[in-house]
Amino acid sequence: MITKDTSYFRKSVNNQGNIVSLDYSQSVVGVAISDTQQIIASPLCAIQNSGHKKISARLQHHLEKRTPIGFIIGWPLNFNGEEGAQCEPVRRFAEFILAEYALPILLMDERFTSKIADTMSKKDGKTFAKRKHIEDKVAASLILTTYLEGSLFT
């Protein structure tokens, strides 16, 4: 199941287990993961986008000792809230992840997460090369944090 409805997704996932957040782009996929109580989001890794199969193999490696129960994938809406050209590759990626893992997927608005991640890494005084390496996984963590914070109040 792939949905944009946060409430429906919450009802579809177990209360115990890791939620995995993915920030997909044409070059890198940022990955973040929750703790099993779904309170804390942590950046996990950035995976070079060398095709869906290779992304899945690397993701499997990082999730080996974890219990994923669902995925949140950043949904790249335009600033006005409408779907743009970037949504189609993300939709195809979400369909691939669903076929590979058979777990619920939430497509979640990711507007501003990359900008916030960039601002955060600049404040840390990192060079551009080092910033770029961490921004994608931090953006995934911000998407997941937004979801988890919403869970606290429902």
Give the tens place of pLDDT for each residue, 8-61.
999 999 788 999 999 998 999 999 999 999 999 999 999 999 999 999 999 999
What CATH number does residue 72 fall under?
3.30.420.140
Range of the domain at 33: 2-152
For residue 154, the tally of other CB atoms under 10 A from its CB is 7
Give the tens place of pLDDT for each residue, 67-93.
999 999 999 988 888 888 899 999 999
pLDDT-based confidence at residue 126 (cuts at 50, 70, 90):
low
The reported pLDDT for the residue numbered 153 is: 47
Count structural domains, the chain. Answer: 1
Please report the sign of the dihedral spanned by the C-alpha atoms of residue 8, residue 96, residue 25, residue 129.
positive
